[in-house]
Structure 1
Amino acid sequence: MVTRFIIMSDSHGDRGIVEDIKARYQGKVAALFHNGDSELDASDSLWDGIHVVKGNCDWTAFPERVITTIDGVTIAQTHGHLYAINYGWTRLNYWAEEAGADICLYGHLHVPAADMRDGCLFVNPGSISQPRGLIQERLYAILDIYPDHFHIEYLDRNHQPYPDLTRDIKR
């Protein structure tokens, strides 16, 4: 059995791309996640069916962190700024451990990343609107969860894979 998640972050006011990703995947995946900095109103019906957290550029009533369990997998989701992710992993790693997370989703850095730390997979989908760092592509992520590994793939706004980032990580 494979569980599939769609993960996006840092759309910064671009409602259209969130709407496009939602329309493409809702009802076809186990869950959709937005890791903050949407700059959209929390009462927008766009968020129905999407797990969303508040980023440092969001000024409405999104939760700052969410812990969800789907198909026996515990997901800790936050934007990352509250855990000083710009300066290191310690605080975010402690929170994920405290939450009993199998997966920790975060954003804020606008840089795609997938790393296993202390038995937890940390995933940043990059920014769907404003990339930073070496990879200047606007991306979101698909995470497939298998019994023995995670498969992560990053896609651009045209839903085409960015193959250099595709990888399998042992659980």
Structure 2
Amino acid sequence: MANYTLIVMSDSHGNPSVVEEIKARYQGQVTGIFHNGDSELASNLPVWEGIQVVRGNCDGEGYPDRLVTQFAGLTIAQTHGHLYLINFMWDRLYFWAQEEGADICLYGHLHQATAWQEGKTVFINPGSVEQPRGPVQEKLYARVEVDDERIKVDFYTLDHQLYPALSKEFSR
């Protein structure tokens, strides 16, 4: 039985300390750590060692626009979202996730924590660890637990407290 734990953050907008703190808390204890862009940090900084990171619309060069990460039995498609026009439609992001055979599609850009499923793919926006938007004005990141039967998404505050109102669980 495959069990994975993922930590997902996004939109840290020039705050390296929040990225470093989340990384220090989880590195070596989880399967993977992901940052969905708009860090506004240089791509060659040591903080990115051990983190899967993509370029957001506020980032410079040196980051990939998208990544596909595979663990045995799990495919994760990751992008910031702006290149897929997610402010206006979901079709492009959805079709890319399907092309990649993604079990999980990670994105950012909107600064709003949410998780939803379309087809077999669970889409996760961890919110923003620096500038939240929308109805939930809490700086959040996501913890994703995956096994052979389910994908559980929980959101946490920067003091690592569960924000239970947004928790969701999906069948695989």
Query: If the TM-score is normalised by the length of the shorter chain, which range does it land in?
Result: over 0.9
The one-letter code of the counterpart of 2:88 is Y
Q: CA deviation at 1:88?
A: 1.5
Give the conservation status (yes or no) of the 8 Å contact 1:3–1:71.
no
Q: CA deviation at 1:2?
A: 2.0
TM-score by length of 1: 0.98
SS in 1 for 2:136: coil
Whole-angstrom distance in 1 between the partners of 2:149 and 2:120: 13
Whole-angstrom distance in 1 between the partners of 2:165 and 2:50: 30
Whole-angstrom distance in 2 between the partners of 1:46 and 1:72: 28
Q: CA deviation at 1:25?
A: 0.2
Q: In structure 1, what is the equivalent of residue 51 of structure 2?
A: 50
TM-score by length of 2: 0.97
Q: CA deviation at 1:92?
A: 0.2
Greater CA drift, 130-139 or 70-79: 70-79
Q: In structure 2, what is the equivalent of residue 69 of structure 1?
A: 70
SS in 2 for 1:76: strand
Whole-angstrom distance in 2 between the partners of 1:60 and 1:158: 31
Matched, 1:81 2:103: no
Q: CA deviation at 1:60?
A: 2.6
Q: In structure 2, what is the equivalent of residue 102 of structure 1?
A: 103
- Unaligned runs of 5+ residues in structure 2 are none
Q: In structure 2, what is the equivalent of residue 144 of structure 1?
A: 145
Q: In structure 2, what is the equivalent of residue 116 of structure 1?
A: 117
Whole-angstrom distance in 1 between the partners of 2:17 and 2:158: 11
Q: In structure 1, what is the equivalent of residue 5 of structure 2?
A: 4
Q: CA deviation at 1:167?
A: 1.8
Whole-angstrom distance in 1 between the partners of 2:70 and 2:147: 15
Whole-angstrom distance in 1 between the partners of 2:71 and 2:20: 23
Superposition misfits of 4+ residues, deviation over 4 angstroms: none
Whole-angstrom distance in 1 between the partners of 2:166 and 2:74: 23
Whole-angstrom distance in 2 between the partners of 1:71 and 1:11: 29
SS in 1 for 2:160: coil
Give the conservation status (yes or no) of the 8 Å contact 1:105–1:124.
yes
Whole-angstrom distance in 1 between the partners of 2:98 and 2:7: 22
